[in-house]
Amino acid sequence: MKNLAILLVDDEPSIVNSLRGSLEDEGHILLTASDGNRALEIVKSHPVDIIFLDIWLPGMDGIQTLKAVKDFDSSIDVVMMTGHGTVNTAVQAVKHGAFDFLEKPFSLDAVIDIIKKIKEKQQMTGKGSPGLKATDSRDELPALSGNSLAIVKVMEEIKCAAAGKGHVLLLGETGTGKEHAAQLIHAGAGFKKKTFAKINCAFLTQEELSAKLFGDIQHGKNGLLAAEGAGVLFLQALDTLSPDMQKRLAEQLSQMPHKEGSLRVVGATIKTGHESALQNVLIKSFQQTILLPPLRERRSDIPAMLNAFLGQFSKEYGFREKQFDDESLELLVNYDWPGNVKELKNLTEKIAVSVPTKAISVQDIPSSLREEAQHTTSRYYEQFPSMTDAEAAWRKNYLLYHLRKNDRNVAKTAGEIHVREKELKKLIKEYGIALAKENPSGKRLQRTLKRAMVVSGQGLHSGDKTGLILTPLPPGSGIIFGNISSDDTIPASIDYVVSTDYSTCLQNTNSTARTIEHCLATLHAYRITNLMIKINNEVPIMDGSAVDFCKMIEDAGIEEQDASAYDIVLTEKFVLGDVNGAKKYMIVEPAEQFSIHYKLQYPKPVGRQEYTFVMHDEESFKKEIAPARTFGFLRDIEALQERGLASGGKLNNFILIDNEKIVNTELRFPDEFVRHKILDMIGDFYLLGRPIRARITANMTGHTDNTTLVRMIRDRMHL
């Protein structure tokens, strides 16, 4: 069970660190990523055998990452880690191709047992492990075929390199065919019957690599660089070497003889240009450097490559000959292929195996690729009806970029882009670019988060382990709740409210979002207008307050977007209930800013409480309202539990009250109960979809009253 390449994908460092040490002790090669996008980058640049993948990840969640991994390479075994999921979520993961799932916290023995099962399966199917390898027969597939000028130039350079005697450095994006180029140099140099060995430097420790390359003097063993006789040693991922190791390798290469019949080294990097960590001293030790172009720079080669790979794989798997139809071919040619030839090869193999018909249509292309292809350069250009429109869009984006960079400072931006300030102001007005962060008319800028965030917790009513993934959305998207187990979404709108008995709940045909009020209250206070909130049916209760939600938003950072957002400005007074005689009532009337005056009267030990909150900014919310926790009376909790609710109520996330006293905690405010009622109301009123300028006076109202009045405002104002 040695030398398996295992990728751990989790944004909790404690999980990664605990697994890293244990699995490295078992002899495995460990790679790590904290989000789905980084995981895909690694999968597309390194041979990976197993992925341990957390479901709750920032940005692209675990289920989406699983689908993307399987679309890229279906042979990679993925184990889902469902610390905050349910059995249903895990079942969905298995349906999408996961090998198995682990529920956190899990034991090391459980992890080792799953790895053992995967290893046995891989041995049966013939899948190998990374390290020092002989040539794979699939490397003979036409990774560098084509007739474009870019590839013709590269093939000439490879031919020249093969005829020479020096060491060769191959540069290029992941998947551009660097290994195939090394094999062509090996074959072209007349080394077909000689050694072609390859080492992926990323999969070995510096000590292991030193022993392989330079030998072990203490034990009298020579390294590969001291080997006599002709052949090619292909060193992948040179830019992962430490600076000291790069310097030592450069010295060794400069001392090796450049003559016929001697070993030649072909090196390659993972990254290129300024992103690469390759040192100049090592670059200079190679006699020739070849840059392999990405597929998007030689699109004319893609049709021939697709058909060649399709023919090869159909023959290999014993299927009849297949062919892409014109529409599917056009889509694939217009796709940008971030994984380059490697991605194209993996996709073609997947299609060859999975599509039963001779003709391959657009619907046979994986949905993730189809969706991404809609955003490629060619389709971007097609959205503009004329060159004038395209130029205007480019100019606006150019100005927006520099204005954002200079914090909307017009004078500074004008100097940076070499235009007169007067001219820049004219362009800003022409393109409708908003500079002011807010103005008294109620017009503001839309807001989202600067980055995705993940928080884990427990549902108050269900008791299920759950979590929260916040993902930025573009202007005009609104606040949307999504389900981690499916692609279903629910807008945070009053139209979808189905229950308000003990918390606010949204529901559509296939999905539910429960206990949303604390999360929405925080978004209301911070004026976040565009956001995807993925949950597992219920928003986690955290400590019963909104403090953790505030921290989450501040950790992510707020991004103001170049689109207008208007406050709801009331023009009439709204009344619910009988103000003079009823125990419950609510009044909402026009005002310059949002404020709530709330009164409650409960039996002791709560008693009568009254508080006025004015939403000056997020700081006032964070200080006065956010810390107030959910509360309940012991008799109500018992009734809820009989109905299967409040299963997640714990001593640390709930203020529990019996007939005489508070049972489980010290209050954060003397009037914490009334402040919590205001917290709930701030959340419920954000179901209007945007902030409202109003003065609210309420007495003993709850979620049902809040949402009733929100509907009244929506209907009368035609929002």
> Within its chain, how far is the Cα of 641 from the centroid?
37
Give the angle 634-656-606 at the CA atoms, nearest 5°. 95
- Please state, in angstroms and rounded to a whole number, the distance separating the CA atoms of residues 239 and 536: 41
110, 9 Cβ separation under 8 angstroms:
no
Map out the domains of the chain with their CATH numbers.
5-125 (3.40.50.2300), 137-293 (3.40.50.300), 297-381 (1.10.8.60), 384-435 (1.10.10), 446-567 (3.30.230.20), 569-717 (3.30.1700.10)
Count of alpha carbons within 13 angstroms of residue 579, beta-carbon side:
9
- Give the pLDDT of residue 102: 82
220 φ/ψ angles, rounded to the nearest 5 degrees: 70, 30
Tens of pLDDT, residues 622-641: 999 999 998 876 655 554 44
C-alpha 85 chain-centroid distance: 18
Let me know if 274 is a catalytic residue.
Answer: no
d(CA 333, CA 559) in angstroms, rounded, equals 35
Please tell me the pTM assigned to this model: 0.57
pLDDT for the residue numbered 133: 39
Whether the upstream peptide bond of residue 472 has omega within 30° of 0, thus cis, is no
Coil, strand or helix: which one is 423?
helix
How many Å apart are CA 499 and CA 704, to the nearest integer? 8
Q: Please, which residues have CB within 8 angstroms of residue 388's CB and are 6 or more apart in sequence?
A: none
The structure tokens 């790679």 sit at 31
Beta carbons within 8 Å of 432's beta carbon, 6+ residues apart = none
What are 86-123's pLDDT values in tens digits? 556 766 777 778 888 887 777 888 888 888 888 877 76
Which residue ranges in the chain fall short of pLDDT 50? 1-2, 129-141, 377, 379, 436-441, 461-463, 639-649
Residue 502 C-beta-side C-alpha neighbours within 13 Å: 17
End-to-end CA distance of the chain: give it in Å, rounded: 62
Per-residue confidence (pLDDT) for residue 216, from 0 to 100:
75
pLDDT value of residue 443:
62
Show the tokens assigned to 422: 């007067």
Report the DSSP beta bridge partners of residue 565.
444
Alpha carbons within 13 angstroms on the beta-carbon side of residue 688 total 30
pLDDT of 563 reads 82
Q: Which of 167, 186, 518, 703 is catalytic?
A: 703
Cβ burial of 218 (10 Å; 0-12, 13-18, 19+) is: exposed
Whole-number pLDDT of residue 136: 41
Phi, psi values for residue 425, rounded to 5°: -60, -35
Its sign, for the CA torsion 514, 619, 687, 487, is negative
User: Where in 82-165 does DSSP place strands (E)?
Assistant: 100-102
Handedness of CA 133, 139, 143, 145 (dihedral sign): positive
Alpha-carbon separation of residue 623 from 33, 545, 619, 628 (angstroms): 35, 12, 6, 10
Cα separation of 500 and 711, whole Å? 13
The closest of 468, 515, 553 to 85, measured between CA atoms, is 468
Task: Give the whole-angstrom CA distance, residue 115 versus residue 52.
Answer: 10
